[in-house]
C-alpha cells in the first residue's frame, strides 16, 4: 500500500508517511479546495485495482480523512488529530469514501471517545443492566417469552442509549465480552423463572456479527447453557438482516450448529434493510420479527399496513413464527390479530423492565388474566 501511494504522488509537492499498520498520512500543498478532492478521488481510484500477493488477490477499500491548514489546524498535531476524526467519520459512513473535517465532528468524536473509555470498565463497575420486555401469544394472551435488552447507566455520562454505545462496543470488539455477559444474565434469569414453575417461557437475546464470527461462539453458548442449567430450546438468538451480508459461510455454519443444539434463531428487523427470501430458505430461521416501522404505519398509511399483513402471511407460509415488535396501540394489535400474527411485544403490553420489576409485572399479569404457565 505504501509503495502504491508513494508512486501515485511522484512528482507532487507532497510526502507519504506510514503511521503504523494500514494507516498512512499524506502531506501536500494545494492551490484550491478542488485539488484536495482530486487527490482523494485519485487515491480511491488507484485502489480499485486489486493487489496480488503470493498468488492471492486482495481487494482493498480506502477510507480517507482530510484536514486543511489553517482552518482545520495551525500545527501538525492539530491537523493529524482532525484528519483522524474525519477518517473515523468516513469509516462510520460505510468506509471506502473520504470526508473533510468540520468543527461539528469534534464534539461527536469526543463523546464517542468518552463512551469507549467508560464502556471498557462498565461490567466490572456494575453499570450494565439487562431489562426484559414480554412477548405475548396473541391467541391465548399468555406471556410466552421475553426479549433481553441491554441498558447502561454511567456515573459521568448518565443513561447512555443503546443507539450510541452498541455501535462503539461493536467497533472496539467489546461487544464480545458484553454480549457474553448479557447471555449469561438472560439465561440465569429464565432459569429462575422455570424453577418457579413458569417453564414454558423463552428468552430472546440479540447477538452481533462480531460474536457470530468468533470461532468458539457455539462453545460459549454451550458453556452458558451448562452453567445456568437452561434447556437450549428455550433460548432464541436474534440476528439482523445486515449481519447476513458479511461472512455468510462462517455465519451459516455457526447458525446450523446452534440449530442442532436445539437453539432457535430469529431474524430481527425484517423488511428494514436487505430483505432476501433466500436467507429465509437457506438458513435455519425459526422466527421472523417485523420491524417497528411497519407497525407504526398500520394506522397511518394503508398501503404500508397492507404490506405488514403480507409480511405476516409470508412468514406463516414459510412455517415461521411471526412476531411484531413496537406495538403501542390497540388498533395495531387488532390489525395483527386479524392478519394472524403469532406474537407481539411493545409498550401496549409493557415497556422493558429490570429483573425485579418484570417479575412483579409477570405475576400481576397472570393474576389479572387468570392463567398459569405450567
pLDDT tens readout for residues 168-200: 999 889 999 999 999 999 999 999 999 986 778
Classify 206 in phi/psi space as left (phi over 0), alpha (psi -120 to 50) or beta. beta
CA–CA separation, 203 and 149 (whole Å): 11
Rounded average pLDDT over 333-344: 94
Per the CB < 8 A criterion, the answer to whether 328 and 308 are in contact is no
Listed range (124-128, 138-142, 185-189) with the worst mean pLDDT = 138-142
Listed range (132-141, 185-194, 365-374) with the worst mean pLDDT = 365-374
Buried residues in 237-256 as b, exposed as e (16+ CB within 10 A): bbbbbebbeeeeeebbebbe
Q: Which three cell numbers stand for residue 45?
A: 481510484
In the chain, CATH 3.20.20.450 sits at 116-369
pLDDT at 374 over 50: no
Listed range (205-219, 270-284, 325-339, 358-372) with the worst mean pLDDT = 270-284
Q: Residue 215: what pLDDT?
A: 86
pLDDT at 245 over 70: no
Please state the CATH superfamily assignment of the domain spanning residues 116-369 in this structure: EAL domain (3.20.20.450)
pLDDT at 91 over 60: yes
In the chain, CATH 3.30.70.270 sits at 2-101
Q: Residue 307: what pLDDT?
A: 84
Per the CB < 8 A criterion, the answer to whether 153 and 125 are in contact is no
Q: Residue 273: what pLDDT?
A: 58
Q: Residue 55: what pLDDT?
A: 66
Strand, coil or helix: what is 356? Answer: helix
Q: Residue 369: what pLDDT?
A: 80
pTM for this model (two decimals): 0.77
| pLDDT bracket for residue 96 (50, 70, 90) | confident
Q: Residue 347: what pLDDT?
A: 96
Q: Residue 247: what pLDDT?
A: 66
H-helix or E-strand spanning residue 129: strand 128-137
Q: Residue 373: what pLDDT?
A: 45
Enter the CATH code of domain 2-101. Answer: 3.30.70.270
Q: Residue 92: what pLDDT?
A: 75
Rounded average pLDDT over 126-143: 95
- The residue that leads in pLDDT, 48 or 352, is 352
pLDDT at 139 over 70: yes
Per the CB < 8 A criterion, the answer to whether 65 and 23 are in contact is no
Q: Which three cell numbers stand for residue 333?
A: 394489535
Q: What is the 8-class DSSP label of residue 298?
A: G
- Give the residue carrying C-alpha cell 460505510: 94
Amino acid at each position: 500500500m505504501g509503495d502504491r501511494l508513494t508512486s501515485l504522488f511522484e512528482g507532487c509537492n507532497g510526502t507519504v508517511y506510514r503511521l503504523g499498520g494500514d494507516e498512512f498520512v499524506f502531506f501536500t500543498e494545494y492551490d484550491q479546495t478542488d485539488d484536495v478532492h482530486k487527490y482523494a478521488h485519485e487515491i480511491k481510484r488507484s485502489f480499485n485495482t486489486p493487489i496480488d500477493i503470493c498468488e492471492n488477490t486482495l481487494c482493498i477499500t480506502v477510507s480517507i480523512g482530510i484536514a486543511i491548514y489553517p482552518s482545520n489546524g495551525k500545527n501538525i498535531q492539530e491537523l493529524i488529530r482532525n484528519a483522524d476524526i474525519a477518517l473515523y467519520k468516513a469509516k462510520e459512513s460505510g468506509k471506502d469514501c473520504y470526508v473533510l473535517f468540520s468543527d461539528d465532528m469534534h464534539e461527536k468524536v469526543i463523546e464517542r471517545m468518552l463512551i469507549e473509555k467508560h464502556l471498557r470498565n462498565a461490567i466490572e463497575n456494575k453499570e450494565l443492566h439487562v431489562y426484559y420486555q414480554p412477548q405475548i401469544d396473541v391467541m391465548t394472551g399468555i406471556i410466552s417469552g421475553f426479549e433481553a435488552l441491554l441498558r447502561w447507566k454511567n456515573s459521568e455520562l448518565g443513561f447512555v442509549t443503546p443507539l450510541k454505545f452498541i455501535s462503539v462496543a461493536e467497533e472496539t470488539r467489546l461487544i464480545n465480552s458484553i454480549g457474553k455477559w448479557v447471555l449469561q444474565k438472560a439465561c440465569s434469569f429464565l432459569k429462575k423463572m422455570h424453577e418457579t414453575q413458569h417453564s414454558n417461557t423463552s428468552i430472546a437475546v440479540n447477538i452481533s456479527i462480531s460474536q457470530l464470527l468468533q470461532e468458539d461462539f457455539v462453545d460459549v453458548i454451550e458453556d452458558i447453557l451448562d452453567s445456568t442449567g437452561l434447556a437450549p430450546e428455550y433460548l432464541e438468538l436474534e440476528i439482523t438482516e445486515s449481519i447476513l451480508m458479511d461472512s455468510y459461510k462462517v455465519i451459516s455454519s455457526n447458525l446450523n450448529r446452534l440449530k442442532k443444539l436445539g437453539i432457535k434463531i430469529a431474524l430481527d428487523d425484517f423488511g428494514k434493510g436487505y430483505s432476501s427470501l433466500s436467507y429465509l430458505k437457506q438458513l435455519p430461521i425459526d422466527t421472523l420479527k417485523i420491524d417497528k416501522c411497519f407497525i407504526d404505519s398500520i394506522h397511518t398509511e394503508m398501503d404500508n399496513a397492507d404490506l405488514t399483513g403480507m409480511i405476516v402471511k409470508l412468514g406463516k407460509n414459510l412455517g415461521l413464527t411471526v412476531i411484531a415488535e413496537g406495538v403501542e396501540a390497540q388498533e395495531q394489535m387488532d390489525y395483527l390479530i386479524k392478519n394472524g400474527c403469532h406474537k407481539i411485544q411493545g409498550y401496549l403490553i409493557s415497556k422493558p423492565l429490570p429483573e425485579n420489576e418484570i417479575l412483579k409485572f409477570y405475576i400481576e399479569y397472570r393474576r389479572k388474566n387468570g392463567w398459569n404457565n405450567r
